[in-house]
Amino acid sequence: MVGNVAIDGPAGAGKSTVSKLLADELGYLYVDTGAMYRALTWKVMNQNIAMDDEVEIARAAEFTDIELKYDAQRVLRVFCDGQEVTSEIRQQVVSKNVSKVARIAAVRHHMVRLQRRMADKQPVVMDGRDIGSYVIPHAQHKFFLTASIEERARRRCQQLDEQNIPFIGEEVKKEIEVRDEMDRSREIAPLIKAPDAILLDTSCQTVEEVVDEVLKVIRGE
Ligand code: CDP
Protein backbone atom coordinates (compact mmCIF):
# COMPACT_ATOMS: atom_id res chain seq x y z
CA MET A 1 0.00 0.00 0.00
CA VAL A 2 1.73 3.19 -1.18
CA GLY A 3 -0.99 5.71 -0.22
CA ASN A 4 -2.73 8.37 -2.28
CA VAL A 5 -0.92 9.85 -5.27
CA ALA A 6 -1.48 13.46 -6.38
CA ILE A 7 -0.57 14.54 -9.91
CA ASP A 8 -0.82 18.21 -10.86
CA GLY A 9 0.31 20.31 -13.78
CA PRO A 10 -0.76 22.57 -16.65
CA ALA A 11 -3.00 21.58 -19.58
CA GLY A 12 -1.75 18.87 -21.88
CA ALA A 13 1.20 17.81 -19.73
CA GLY A 14 0.08 14.18 -19.96
CA LYS A 15 -1.36 13.97 -16.46
CA SER A 16 -4.44 11.94 -17.32
CA THR A 17 -2.65 9.33 -19.46
CA VAL A 18 0.08 8.88 -16.87
CA SER A 19 -2.37 8.86 -13.94
CA LYS A 20 -4.61 6.27 -15.53
CA LEU A 21 -1.68 3.91 -16.22
CA LEU A 22 -0.34 4.44 -12.70
CA ALA A 23 -3.73 3.67 -11.19
CA ASP A 24 -3.93 0.48 -13.28
CA GLU A 25 -0.46 -0.55 -12.15
CA LEU A 26 -1.19 0.13 -8.45
CA GLY A 27 -4.78 -1.19 -8.56
CA TYR A 28 -6.06 2.21 -7.40
CA LEU A 29 -9.01 4.30 -8.52
CA TYR A 30 -8.11 7.02 -11.01
CA VAL A 31 -9.90 10.29 -10.30
CA ASP A 32 -9.84 12.76 -13.21
CA THR A 33 -10.85 15.97 -11.40
CA GLY A 34 -10.63 17.98 -14.65
CA ALA A 35 -13.40 15.77 -16.06
CA MET A 36 -15.60 16.82 -13.14
CA TYR A 37 -15.15 20.54 -13.90
CA ARG A 38 -15.63 19.80 -17.59
CA ALA A 39 -18.88 17.90 -16.93
CA LEU A 40 -20.32 20.81 -14.98
CA THR A 41 -19.22 23.23 -17.72
CA TRP A 42 -20.97 21.06 -20.30
CA LYS A 43 -24.18 21.18 -18.25
CA VAL A 44 -23.96 24.96 -17.75
CA MET A 45 -23.54 25.44 -21.51
CA ASN A 46 -26.37 23.01 -22.25
CA GLN A 47 -28.69 24.95 -19.98
CA ASN A 48 -27.70 28.21 -21.66
CA ILE A 49 -26.49 29.71 -18.41
CA ALA A 50 -24.24 32.71 -19.11
CA MET A 51 -20.58 32.05 -18.33
CA ASP A 52 -20.42 35.16 -16.16
CA ASP A 53 -23.53 34.30 -14.14
CA GLU A 54 -21.69 33.00 -11.09
CA VAL A 55 -24.83 32.73 -8.97
CA GLU A 56 -26.62 30.46 -11.47
CA ILE A 57 -23.49 28.39 -12.08
CA ALA A 58 -23.01 27.91 -8.34
CA ARG A 59 -26.64 26.83 -8.05
CA ALA A 60 -26.22 24.38 -10.93
CA ALA A 61 -23.13 22.90 -9.23
CA GLU A 62 -25.07 22.25 -6.06
CA PHE A 63 -27.69 20.24 -7.95
CA THR A 64 -25.34 18.35 -10.24
CA ASP A 65 -24.47 14.74 -9.76
CA ILE A 66 -21.16 13.79 -11.33
CA GLU A 67 -19.93 10.22 -11.46
CA LEU A 68 -16.69 8.69 -12.73
CA LYS A 69 -17.06 5.00 -13.47
CA TYR A 70 -14.85 2.37 -15.08
CA ASP A 71 -16.50 0.21 -17.71
CA ALA A 72 -15.67 -3.49 -18.26
CA GLN A 73 -12.60 -2.49 -20.34
CA ARG A 74 -11.41 -0.19 -17.53
CA VAL A 75 -12.17 2.91 -19.62
CA LEU A 76 -13.14 5.79 -17.34
CA ARG A 77 -16.60 7.07 -18.24
CA VAL A 78 -18.04 10.36 -17.07
CA PHE A 79 -21.71 10.86 -16.16
CA CYS A 80 -23.51 14.12 -15.46
CA ASP A 81 -26.90 13.69 -13.79
CA GLY A 82 -26.97 10.13 -15.11
CA GLN A 83 -26.21 11.05 -18.73
CA GLU A 84 -22.92 9.91 -20.24
CA VAL A 85 -20.77 12.88 -21.33
CA THR A 86 -17.38 11.17 -21.74
CA SER A 87 -16.69 12.50 -25.24
CA GLU A 88 -18.79 15.71 -25.12
CA ILE A 89 -16.62 17.17 -22.35
CA ARG A 90 -13.50 17.00 -24.54
CA GLN A 91 -14.89 19.40 -27.17
CA GLN A 92 -12.97 22.62 -27.66
CA VAL A 93 -15.97 24.76 -26.61
CA VAL A 94 -15.89 23.06 -23.23
CA SER A 95 -12.09 23.52 -22.96
CA LYS A 96 -12.52 27.22 -23.72
CA ASN A 97 -15.05 27.77 -20.93
CA VAL A 98 -14.05 25.35 -18.19
CA SER A 99 -11.65 27.68 -16.35
CA LYS A 100 -14.39 30.30 -15.99
CA VAL A 101 -16.55 27.74 -14.21
CA ALA A 102 -13.65 26.30 -12.19
CA ARG A 103 -12.69 29.64 -10.67
CA ILE A 104 -16.04 30.06 -8.86
CA ALA A 105 -15.67 29.49 -5.10
CA ALA A 106 -18.95 27.58 -4.63
CA VAL A 107 -18.12 25.30 -7.57
CA ARG A 108 -14.71 24.44 -6.14
CA HIS A 109 -16.14 23.91 -2.70
CA HIS A 110 -18.63 21.38 -4.07
CA MET A 111 -16.08 19.52 -6.24
CA VAL A 112 -13.40 19.40 -3.57
CA ARG A 113 -15.86 17.88 -1.11
CA LEU A 114 -16.66 15.10 -3.63
CA GLN A 115 -12.96 14.58 -4.39
CA ARG A 116 -11.94 14.31 -0.72
CA ARG A 117 -14.74 11.83 -0.13
CA MET A 118 -13.39 9.62 -2.93
CA ALA A 119 -9.84 9.83 -1.59
CA ASP A 120 -11.02 8.91 1.91
CA LYS A 121 -12.91 5.85 0.71
CA GLN A 122 -10.18 4.12 -1.30
CA PRO A 123 -6.62 4.72 -2.44
CA VAL A 124 -6.57 7.01 -5.47
CA VAL A 125 -4.37 8.46 -8.15
CA MET A 126 -5.96 11.89 -8.49
CA ASP A 127 -4.95 14.42 -11.13
CA GLY A 128 -5.75 18.11 -11.48
CA ARG A 129 -4.39 21.54 -10.61
CA ASP A 130 -4.74 21.78 -6.82
CA ILE A 131 -4.59 18.17 -5.70
CA GLY A 132 -1.25 18.18 -3.85
CA SER A 133 -1.62 21.77 -2.68
CA TYR A 134 -5.24 21.77 -1.54
CA VAL A 135 -7.47 18.73 -2.15
CA ILE A 136 -5.29 16.04 -0.53
CA PRO A 137 -2.31 17.91 0.92
CA HIS A 138 -1.38 14.81 2.97
CA ALA A 139 -1.08 12.59 -0.12
CA GLN A 140 1.89 10.23 0.28
CA HIS A 141 3.24 11.05 -3.17
CA LYS A 142 2.99 14.26 -5.13
CA PHE A 143 4.16 14.99 -8.65
CA PHE A 144 3.99 18.09 -10.81
CA LEU A 145 4.14 17.23 -14.50
CA THR A 146 5.00 19.83 -17.08
CA ALA A 147 6.33 20.14 -20.65
CA SER A 148 7.04 22.95 -23.10
CA ILE A 149 3.99 24.73 -24.53
CA GLU A 150 4.84 23.46 -28.03
CA GLU A 151 4.96 19.87 -26.85
CA ARG A 152 1.78 20.18 -24.81
CA ALA A 153 -0.08 21.68 -27.77
CA ARG A 154 1.24 18.92 -30.03
CA ARG A 155 0.06 16.23 -27.63
CA ARG A 156 -3.37 17.81 -27.25
CA CYS A 157 -3.82 18.02 -31.05
CA GLN A 158 -2.84 14.37 -31.37
CA GLN A 159 -5.37 13.43 -28.67
CA LEU A 160 -8.17 15.41 -30.34
CA ASP A 161 -7.26 13.82 -33.66
CA GLU A 162 -7.49 10.33 -32.17
CA GLN A 163 -10.88 11.16 -30.69
CA ASN A 164 -12.12 12.57 -34.03
CA ILE A 165 -12.80 15.93 -32.37
CA PRO A 166 -12.40 18.89 -34.78
CA PHE A 167 -9.74 21.50 -33.93
CA ILE A 168 -7.45 24.17 -35.39
CA GLY A 169 -3.82 23.71 -34.31
CA GLU A 170 -3.01 27.36 -33.55
CA GLU A 171 -6.25 27.74 -31.59
CA VAL A 172 -5.44 24.71 -29.47
CA LYS A 173 -2.11 26.26 -28.44
CA LYS A 174 -3.75 29.60 -27.67
CA GLU A 175 -6.57 27.94 -25.72
CA ILE A 176 -4.06 26.06 -23.56
CA GLU A 177 -2.07 29.24 -22.87
CA VAL A 178 -5.16 31.27 -21.93
CA ARG A 179 -6.52 28.47 -19.71
CA ASP A 180 -3.19 27.97 -17.91
CA GLU A 181 -3.01 31.68 -17.20
CA MET A 182 -6.56 31.69 -15.77
CA ASP A 183 -5.85 28.58 -13.70
CA ARG A 184 -2.60 30.05 -12.33
CA SER A 185 -4.00 33.45 -11.48
CA ARG A 186 -7.34 32.56 -9.90
CA GLU A 187 -7.84 33.41 -6.24
CA ILE A 188 -8.91 30.03 -4.90
CA ALA A 189 -6.69 26.96 -5.11
CA PRO A 190 -4.79 28.03 -8.24
CA LEU A 191 -2.61 25.80 -10.39
CA ILE A 192 0.56 25.54 -8.32
CA LYS A 193 3.30 23.08 -7.54
CA ALA A 194 3.06 22.01 -3.89
CA PRO A 195 6.44 22.64 -2.22
CA ASP A 196 6.87 18.91 -1.55
CA ALA A 197 5.83 17.77 -5.06
CA ILE A 198 8.44 16.30 -7.39
CA LEU A 199 8.75 18.32 -10.61
CA LEU A 200 8.99 16.26 -13.80
CA ASP A 201 9.56 17.97 -17.16
CA THR A 202 8.21 15.41 -19.61
CA SER A 203 8.96 17.36 -22.82
CA CYS A 204 11.37 14.70 -24.08
CA GLN A 205 9.86 11.65 -22.41
CA THR A 206 7.41 9.04 -23.61
CA VAL A 207 4.39 8.18 -21.46
CA GLU A 208 6.02 4.87 -20.52
CA GLU A 209 9.20 6.63 -19.38
CA VAL A 210 7.23 9.02 -17.18
CA VAL A 211 5.18 6.19 -15.64
CA ASP A 212 8.39 4.21 -14.95
CA GLU A 213 10.02 7.20 -13.30
CA VAL A 214 7.00 7.92 -11.11
CA LEU A 215 6.69 4.26 -10.10
CA LYS A 216 10.37 4.13 -9.15
CA VAL A 217 9.92 7.11 -6.84
CA ILE A 218 6.75 5.66 -5.33
CA ARG A 219 8.37 2.28 -4.72
CA GLY A 220 11.54 3.87 -3.38
CA GLU A 221 13.76 2.19 -5.99
O1 CDP B 1 -6.91 17.76 -19.87
P2 CDP B 1 -6.41 19.12 -19.53
O3 CDP B 1 -5.07 19.09 -18.89
O4 CDP B 1 -6.50 20.07 -20.66
O5 CDP B 1 -7.41 19.74 -18.46
P6 CDP B 1 -8.32 19.03 -17.41
O7 CDP B 1 -7.47 18.28 -16.41
O8 CDP B 1 -9.39 18.28 -18.09
O9 CDP B 1 -8.93 20.29 -16.61
C10 CDP B 1 -9.80 21.18 -17.26
C11 CDP B 1 -9.90 22.46 -16.43
O12 CDP B 1 -10.56 22.18 -15.20
C13 CDP B 1 -8.59 23.13 -16.02
O14 CDP B 1 -8.07 23.96 -17.01
C15 CDP B 1 -9.03 23.92 -14.78
O16 CDP B 1 -9.64 25.13 -15.14
C17 CDP B 1 -10.08 23.02 -14.17
N18 CDP B 1 -9.53 22.20 -13.08
C19 CDP B 1 -9.39 22.78 -11.85
O20 CDP B 1 -9.63 23.97 -11.70
N21 CDP B 1 -8.97 22.06 -10.79
C22 CDP B 1 -8.69 20.76 -10.93
N23 CDP B 1 -8.32 20.06 -9.87
C24 CDP B 1 -8.81 20.15 -12.18
C25 CDP B 1 -9.21 20.90 -13.26
What pLDDT digit, counting tens, does each position of 12-27 carry?
999 999 999 999 999 9
Angle in degrees, CA 107, 52, 86, rounded to 5: 55
Name all domains of the chain by residue range, CATH numbers in brackets: 5-218 (3.40.50.300)
33 lines ligand 1 (CB under 6 A): yes
Its pTM stands at 0.95
Query: Which atom of ligand 1 lies nearest, measured to the CA of 12?
Result: 3
Kindly give the number of the ligand 1 atom that is closest to the alpha carbon of 37.
Answer: 12
Nearest CA to ligand 1 atom 6: 34
- Say if CB 93 and CB 45 are below 8 A apart: yes
Q: Is the CB of 12 under 6 A from ligand 1?
A: yes
pLDDT number for residue 1: 65
**How far, in Å, is the centroid of ligand 1 from the Cα of 78?**
14
Ligand 1, atom 11: closest residue by C-alpha:
34
38 Cβ inside 6 Å of ligand 1: yes
- With a 6 Å cutoff on the Cβ, whether 153 touches ligand 1 is no
- What pLDDT score does 221 carry? 83
Select from 19, 32, 33, 37 the residue to mutate for testing ligand 1; criterion: most ligand atoms less than 8 Å from CB: 37
CA of 12 to the centre of ligand 1 (A): 10
Average pLDDT of the residues of the chain: 95
Distance 191 CA to ligand 1 centre (A): 9
Measured between alpha carbons, how far is 135 from 133 in angstroms, rounded to an integer?
Answer: 7
Note down pLDDT in tens along the chain; length 221 residues: 678 999 999 999 999 999 999 999 999 999 999 999 999 999 999 999 999 999 999 999 999 999 999 999 989 999 999 999 999 999 999 999 999 999 999 999 999 999 999 999 999 999 999 999 999 999 999 999 999 999 999 999 999 999 898 999 999 999 999 999 999 999 999 999 999 999 999 999 999 999 999 999 999 98
Buried/exposed 185-216: b ≥16 CB within 10 Å, e otherwise: ebeebebbbbeebeebebeebeeeebbebbee
